[in-house]
Amino acid sequence: NAGVMQNPRHLVRRRGQEARLRCSPMKGHSHVYWYRQLPEEGLKFMVYLQKENIIDESGMPKERFSAEFPKEGPSILRIQQVVRGDSAAYFCASSDGLAGASDFLYEQYFGPGTRLTVT
């Protein structure tokens, strides 16, 4: 059973360019979460999506950042006009999202992350 896939693993962008980060959830998972880990900081929640819906984007900066999880294809985190402060590791997680008898259904599994460097 393939895990959560993220690409690219490393991304270098110049200030002002756009960054697109992709996440393919585990097979059968319909809930996707994005987190950001800034240097020397812990992980911070950004956005929670289900297929074609944004459930909670309370952790995402209001400007320049957007996320989607289309009916077909991976989830995309898009950062427009990147600045040096956007340099971080971006992690995607997925879950089945259904509270049920099995812990497995609700547990979040993380991808390997995309390390964004803005020069």
Partner 1 sequence: GIQVEQSPPDLILQEGANSTLRCNFSDSVNNLQWFHQNPWGQLINLFYIPSGTKQNGRLSATTVATERYSLLYISSSQTTDSGVYFCAVEPSNTGKLIFGQGTTLQVKP
Q: Which is nearer to partner 1, 7 or 108 (CB)?
A: 108
39, two tokens: 């240097």
* 8-27: contacts with partner 1 (CB under 8 A): none
Distance (Å, whole) CA 90 – CA 44: 10
Q: How far is CA 34 from the centre of its chain?
A: 3
Per-residue string for binding with partner 1, 48-87, x by CB under 8 A? x------xx-xx----------------------------
Distance (Å, whole) CA 114 – CA 89: 6
Distance (Å, whole) CA 91 – CA 81: 20
Q: Is 91 in the site for partner 1 (CB under 8 A)?
A: yes
Among 43, 66, 76, 87, binds partner 1 (CB under 8 A): 43
DSSP 85: G
Q: Which residues bind partner 1 (CB under 8 A)?
A: 31, 33, 35, 42-45, 48, 55-56, 58-59, 89, 91, 93, 97, 99, 103-104, 106-110, 112-113, 115
